Structures are given as C-alpha cells and as structure tokens.
Structure 1
Amino acid sequence: MNAPHPLLRAWPLDPRDDLPLALWDAAGIEAATGGQASHAFQASGVEMDSRDVRPGDLFVALRGEAMDGHKFIASAFAKGAVAAITDRPVDFPHVLTGDTAKALHALAQAARSRSKAVRIAVTGSVGKTGVKEAIFAALDRSSRGAAHRSVRSYNNHVGVPLSLARMPARSRFGVFEMGMNHAGEIAPLGDHVRPHVAVITTIAPAHIENLGSMEAIADEKAQIFTGLAAGGTAVIPADSEYSQRLIGHARALGVNILTFGRSEDADVRLLDAIAGNNGGSIVTAELGPRAGGRRLCYSIAEPGEHWVANSLAVMASVQAAGGDLASAGLALAEMGGLQGRGARSQITAAGGKALLIDESYNANPASMRATLRAIGQTPALRRIAVLGSMKELGDFGPRFHMQLAEPLIEAKIDHAILVGDEMRDLAAELGRRSAQSLGFKPGFAHCAGPAEAIAALEQFGLTHGDAVLVKGSNSVGLGRLVSHFTKEPG
C-alpha cells in the first residue's frame, strides 16, 4: 500500500474534530437535563414553536400561563421532529423531565460548557439586532462557517437559552442578542451566556414607561457586564451622554473596556464618513492602543448615519473577540437590510417603481429620528413616511411623539401617514406647524390601524421615484402594510 502524501500527513489536527456532528443525541440530553430518554435518537436542531419545526428538530414542549406545548407534540412530529422534551410520557420519542423550562435552561448550560466558542452578547435601546447580525456575518466569514447566532429577536428569558441550546459544539463564535422590558431582566440573560464580549449599542428611551428614567435604562443595560467571563471586555458607546455611567459599571466589575464613537477619546474612533455609491457609507476609523492600534477604511452597504456608529461597535466587538477586521469590513460591505429592520424593496408604482424601506418591527424616539434622517438622505422625487405609534413610553409618550415633527420636516417628508392613537399628538403638532409655517410643510393623515393606513397610502398614490419609509412599534402591525405593497405573504 502506498504511503500517504506528506501534505496529507501534515493535515492539522483540531480537537473539535472529535466532537459529535449531531447537535444533540439522546444520551447528551439525558446527561444535561437529568431526564430519561424513551429511544435513542440524534437531533439537528432545537425548536419550541411547533409551527417552526423542521425535519430533524428536537421539540421542547414548554408550558406557559396561556399555552401548553404538549398539545402541539403531534403537530411537531408531523413536521419532522425526531424527539421531544416533555414533562409527561407521550407516544413519541421523548426525554422525560420534571420541568421542561428547567430542562431547556440545563440544555443551554451544557451547550455553553461543551463548546470553546468565544461568546458575544449584544444589547442596547437601538440597533442590537443589526449589530448582532453584522458581528455574526464578520465572524462567520473569518471562521468559515463556524459562527453561531440567535435568530430573529430571540432575546428574552426563553429565547436566549433556546439560542444557546442551538449552538453546535464545534462553534468558534456565538453571538447572542439580549433585550429587556423591565428592570432585572438583563442580568439573568448574561448569566446564561457568560459572554467574553458584552456590547451596548446605545441608550435611548425604549421601555421608559417601565424603567422610569434614562439613568435607569442605562443601569439596566449595564447589567450585561455582570455576566462577563474572566478577562472579558465591555464595549461601550463613547458618544452616549451615559457613557461614563456605563464605564463606571464596567470598572466596578474589573472588566476590560473598549469604547467606540466620534469622541476624541474613543478606542475605536470615527475619523471620516462619506456617502458611498450604493447609498451606504465609506468609513475611516482609527483603533487606539487598546483596540490594536491601526487605521481602517471600509464600506457599509446599509444607509444612514446610525449604521456608521453601528459599524464602529462591530469593529470594536470583532477586535475584542479575536476576529478578523478585514472580514468584518467585507461583511459590512455586503450586508442587506433585515426584514422589518431596514430591508429595501422595489414596489409597483404609477409609471414605474417606488422604494419601500421596511422598518416596521420596532420604534422608539431615537430610532425614529435615525431612520427619518436616513430617508432624508435617500434620493427620491417624493418622500412618504408611514409612522406607527411608539409604545411603552408612558407619560413621556405625548412629548416624544410631538417631537417627531422636527425630524419629519428636516427630512423633507412630502406626506406622512400616522398610525395609532399615540400618533394623534404628532398629527396635532403638524397641524399647528402647518398653520404657522411659511416654509416647507408635509401633508399628513392620521389612521387608526394598518388597514386604514393601506387605504390612505393607496389613495395618496405612489408614483415612479417615490421613497416610502414604514416604521412603528411591532404591535401596531405595519408589517401588514409592508406585505400588502411588496406582495409577500405575511
């Protein structure tokens, strides 16, 4: 028999090669949860919603206040589930546990413990999903597909452990999003992930109704640092008026700190940003000594000044995680908008096509201003804004809605369709300004909900060259309007 080629003999050994290819098998789930498996099986995924089950998934039958996942076990298996985690015997392959929620948490802990992946956690009032996706794209490129991330907005007390449980043992990086509505929610999520890098994108008045003040929002977001692994790094927005408050939290925990922004003392500092040919930006940034000490020039496909700031957070995070900055630059140049968070579609309009910008998933005062600035910089014959109510602002709501009049006017919005009860305050403010203004004044209409907004936009009539921004809190339901005009089911 011929001897193997020398280069084949020199193929590098990787300890990860000894890890199983399957995401989970029955024995691994038994060991993690203390449960008892009815059959031997291997699973390629983990799912808690029977509607989203794919062939090969492990279905976790969670019980909530209003719903019991055990009722949907048959549906999950009909869609291809190979086994379920249950708290009672069922007529399907399963792992029997005392509490399925605790079993999911145990599975998440086991996934974290068995993997050598560098874990990055992302939170913030604005931009956390986009930044999470960009960090993942950068690390997935440099690791050749060995990065993992939380999908959708799985960022709460169920979504985070589910995302961890889905992390393959062979992952080199894991990127996890963390959200909150009330005080005390971030720290447990950080304890689940125990990240090596914890990122705060920005501090803005999202959920201020529940938190009470901007300072309280900053303090709650800073709880992400409490879960940092030894030697971990806190990535902090230097331009935020709460940056020193966040830095104080990080210093009290003794973790490393990297800041990003336009500020002179930012570790990842913006030097210049100019408009790119594709509607995005070309950015020059300087990395200080704590961030590697180099200068970068890269392109961003996503339009808007907020994405310039987001890109600095991405570069700081990739540097802290030991990733490749060149791959991060390429990832930012290729990223497209996410559904509900900046996706751009060409839709049918009289005489040709109009641009629809889908920001329908969420909204708060800071993100509203950022996206209005972005559409104001978008070339268009006319600019139309369909704006839904911003929720969870409490007593601050009327003032924050009224204050959108100025950015609407600055963006040269020709017509605004305002949707939801809270938007009455903006409608009233625009009415007052229209009566007093001698300069530019946008037309506007107020609608109760998405169906009325669809009719109002159809009545207004889209023509070739129009740009339409759709943005509002998810509960307003403006995704229906987006689906209607893009002709996508939704």
Structure 2
Amino acid sequence: MTALWTRTAAVEATKGQIVGDNWSAYGISIDSRKIKTGDIFIALPGKRVDGHQFVISALNLGASAALVSHIPNGLDNAPLLIVKDVLKALKDLAHFARARSNARIVAVTGSVGKTGTKEMLARTLGADGKTIASVGNLNNHIGAPMSLASLPADCDFAVFELGMNHSNEIRPLAQMIAPHVTIITNVELVHTEFFNSIEDIADSKAEIMEGLLPGGIAVLNADNSSFVRLRKRAQALCIDQIATFGRGAACDIRGIKIEPFSDGTKVIASVAGKEISWTVGCIGLHWGLNSLGVIAVLHALGLSIIPLLKQLSVFSPLRGRGNQVMITTIDNGIALLIDESYSASPKSMRAALSVFAATRGKRKIVVLGDMLELGNITSIAHANLKNTIDDIKPELIYLCGDGMSHLREALGRDRITLWTKTANALVESVVNNVTDGDVVLVKGAFAMGMQKIVSALEKKRNIL
C-alpha cells in the first residue's frame, strides 16, 4: 500500500521539526478514539479539551506519528512532527496534497441535499476511477482541510462537501480545494438565525465558485428561486461555463419525469438533448432532483454517463438521511422505520413528510424534533407544517423541542400523542406504541438527539 504521507513529505508541507524514528502515514485522524493503524494523529487544541492530552493514547492505538505544537510529557522520543500551529499545519498538508494531485475535483454545497449529492457523485465517479470523498459531513474549517489532506496522490477524482452557517466561511475552503467543477444543490431558508435574508444565504453559498480553477464549470439548479442571483454571481466571476439542471425546458440536464416508487425513484431526463433514464435507489422526488445535479456534474467532467448510471440504482441513503429499515416491534411484529434523524430544515422536513405520506402502513406514526438555527422564523416555520400533517393524518404524533411547541399549538394539543422538551423523554412512549405494520418517521435537527429514538427502535427495546 502506498503511503498517504511520508515523514519527508509532511515535513516539506509543514516546515515542522521531527522527533523520533522515521514513519509513514496511511490516514489522518483528529479523534484518538477512532485511530486506525498507520494514521497520523492531528493533536488539535480545543475549547474543552486539547488533543495533546491524547497523543499517548493515539500512539498506543497504532498511530504512526502525531502532529503537535509541543512535546507531551513522556514522549521525548516518540514519532512527532512539531509545528507552531497545528490547525495551520493541517491546512498546509491540505494545500500540499492539492498541489501534488492530478485528480479532477468537485466541490459541493447547498442548503439541502449536499451530502446525498456528494455521496452519489462518489459512487458514480468511483466506477470510472479511483475516487475519494469527504467522510460524513466533514465540511467546515477543520473537516475540509482534513478531507483534502487525505487525498492520495494517485486519485482520479475527489468530491468535497463544503458547509457553512455564516458568510465568508466557504470562500477560503473553496480556494484551498480549487475544484474543476462546483455544484450548488439549492438555496433555502436554513441558518436564518445568522442571515438577514435568503439573498444573503445565496451569496454565501456562491462563495464556492470563487475557488473554481480557470476554465472550471459551475453547475446550478435552475429550478431554485436563487438561480438568477447565483448565475449573475458566476458571470461576475468571469465563469464562462455554467451548466444547469432542473425541470425547466432550458435546462442542460432536464428532468422530464421523476416518479418515486416502492424501491426507489425513476428518472427520465434530457441530457444535452438526448433522452436517457435511470433509477435512484432512494425514495422521493428530492432524490430524483438531486440525481439531475449529479448527472450535470458527470457531464461537466466529460464522462460517458450511461455506464455510470447503474451506480445510482444501487445507491442508498446514509444513516439518518432517509434510510429505511425494518424493525421488530413490541408485539413481535415488523414495522418500517424511516430514519431522518440527522438534520432538519423546512425544505427537508417537507421532503421527508412527502415520502412518509406515500409509504403504506397499517398506521402512520410521526416523530418530529425541532428545526434549529431558524432565528425569527422559528415559530412560523414549525407551525407551517400543520397543513402537511393534516394531509397525512398520522394516527400518532410525537413532538419534542421548543420549536415543535408551535406545531403543537397549530394542530391543537388534543391531536398530539405526546410533546416533550427533549427527544430522550419521548423514547419510552414511542418504542412502546409502535406495533406490527406501522410506518414510523423520525426527523429533527441533529442537536435534538433524535438518533436516540432511532437507536431504541432498532434495538427492539421493550420498556414496560
């Protein structure tokens, strides 16, 4: 196996001082609990803990070396790379990895759907050549350089997800990654606690295009309300090639028909004037729309699309992002769990509820937690879910969080099975009321801890 980092290359990248024996690294980790043999451990300082406290543990677990700003006690002869600023050194590794790479690179952002789009791109590109992608949602000022620093020199493709909740966060990450293609999946009212308007959100998402290499291609969602603003920004940046996807007649990648069914979503589309079809192994209109963006990126990269379409049919959502699992119920029956516990916004909430509405079951049980970072639209955003819930008519409605108290009032308290402050307080009632044949949707912001409910259901916990 070829090393990701030799000690010589790491020293060249960071200008650090070496201590201890020679080493090579095959991966990068900032969490000593997740060290794999051969990783280089990045001892980042933090507000609560300092990574230097865990260097010994990381080395004992198999780390080949550690990147530090000082020598921890008792490690005078350990394999260390000493730098003035560990975070800056991580970014130096990222810049060095980018400079030595000949991979074609895609950067993805958007208010909703960026992780799913990134994963579909990784799956399809992986069928054409060696590909890496950001792990999970490592998309911020630490995650992005960590992902880029993990780019092997011999990769053919790389896909990086970039996120933000403030302006001026995406720009430096995009400039560091220097992509050949960017895609903005959409712009929606998320993180409104930190922005004055959707225009401000669009401008912040548009920062990704500032990293495009000369001759690069910006892929934009023409169906989105911010499309014109994003296109004008691309033109102002002298980006000559703008590719569009959506359902409008003028789109380069145009969805002619998108039809969810029991095992996925069927898409018929016009790709540069040629009609083709594919199936996405995920259920929901939003998955079909996101796949149009994926095809737009593949087309922008100049790839032969038809041989890659099979990868979309076998793609499935990540845990917490719409994956569906069968669970054993308290009465020893079988129920269907739709796990949307990772994130929530008004747009993604409606998308999940749409899939839930179309899913057959003896009873429908909805378990919703707050959508966070919505600022002064928090109350109305939650209350506005009323009509969608009314249309679905779930037999049981569980809500948790201060935001969901507004939906409770909108629906009427007598319709709510149980409202609590926290997800943890819902666990017992939910688990003990899901029975054979039910369909259960669990969705809420990650910080609400909705995954606790999912875990309890998956463990078939009997709390009586």
> Which interval holds the TM-score relative to the shorter structure?
over 0.9
Q: Which runs of 5+ in 1 are unaligned?
A: 1-19, 435-441
Distance 1:295 1:316 in 2: 14
- The match for 2:90 is 104
The amino acid that maps onto 2:109 is T
- The match for 1:310 is 290
Structure 1 contact 272–283 (Cα < 8 Å) conserved: yes
Distance 2:259 2:352 in 1: 18
Distance 1:403 1:382 in 2: 23
- The match for 1:383 is 364
The offset of 1:351, in angstroms, is: 5.2
Distance 2:36 2:292 in 1: 36
Distance 2:300 2:460 in 1: 39
Structure 1 contact 135–328 (Cα < 8 Å) conserved: no
The amino acid that maps onto 1:463 is T
Q: Equivalences for 1:431-446 in 2 at 5 Å?
A: 431=412, 443-446=416-419
- The match for 1:295 is 275
- The match for 1:265 is 250
Q: Equivalences for 1:71-82 in 2 at 5 Å?
A: 71-82=53-64
The offset of 1:422, in angstroms, is: 1.1
Structure 1 contact 120–321 (Cα < 8 Å) conserved: no
Which has the higher mean CA deviation after the structures are superposed, 209-218 or 158-167?
209-218
Q: In the alignment, is residue 363 of structure 1 matched against residue 344 of structure 2?
A: yes
Distance 2:304 2:313 in 1: 15
Query: Aligned to 2:403, what secondary structure does the other structure show?
Result: helix
Distance 1:170 1:336 in 2: 27
The amino acid that maps onto 1:471 is K
- The match for 2:420 is 447
Q: In the alignment, is residue 468 of structure 1 matched against residue 464 of structure 2?
A: no
- Taking structure 2 as the reference length, what is the TM-score of the superposition? 0.95
The offset of 1:412, in angstroms, is: 3.4
- The match for 2:334 is 353
Distance 1:97 1:199 in 2: 35
Distance 1:340 1:100 in 2: 32
Structure 1 contact 124–203 (Cα < 8 Å) conserved: yes
Query: Aligned to 2:41, what secondary structure does the other structure show?
Result: strand
- The match for 2:127 is 141
The alpha-carbon distance between structure 1 residues 95 and 219, as it changes in their structure 2 partners (threshold 3 A), is: same
Q: In the alignment, is residue 32 of structure 1 matched against residue 10 of structure 2?
A: no
Which has the higher mean CA deviation after the structures are superposed, 409-418 or 217-226?
409-418
Structure 1 contact 200–237 (Cα < 8 Å) conserved: yes
Query: Aligned to 2:194, what secondary structure does the other structure show?
Result: helix
Query: Aligned to 2:37, what secondary structure does the other structure show?
Result: coil
Structure 1 contact 138–324 (Cα < 8 Å) conserved: no
The amino acid that maps onto 2:180 is H
- Taking structure 1 as the reference length, what is the TM-score of the superposition? 0.90
- The match for 1:413 is 394
Structure 2 contact 431–457 (Cα < 8 Å) conserved: no
- The match for 2:180 is 196
The offset of 1:458, in angstroms, is: 3.1
Distance 2:393 2:182 in 1: 38
The offset of 1:327, in angstroms, is: 4.2
Structure 1 contact 365–400 (Cα < 8 Å) conserved: yes
The offset of 1:66, in angstroms, is: 2.7
Distance 1:328 1:125 in 2: 26
- The match for 2:116 is 130
The alpha-carbon distance between structure 1 residues 258 and 417, as it changes in their structure 2 partners (threshold 3 A), is: same
Query: Aligned to 1:209, what secondary structure does the other structure show?
Result: coil
Structure 1 contact 236–258 (Cα < 8 Å) conserved: yes
Let me know the Cα RMSD of the aligned residues.
1.6
Structure 1 contact 124–200 (Cα < 8 Å) conserved: yes
Distance 1:414 1:235 in 2: 42
The amino acid that maps onto 2:381 is F
Distance 1:391 1:36 in 2: 44
2:4 to 23, 26, 29: 23
- The match for 2:452 is 480
Give the aligned length.
454
The offset of 1:211, in angstroms, is: 1.0
The offset of 1:384, in angstroms, is: 1.1
Distance 1:455 1:484 in 2: 9
Structure 2 contact 408–416 (Cα < 8 Å) conserved: no
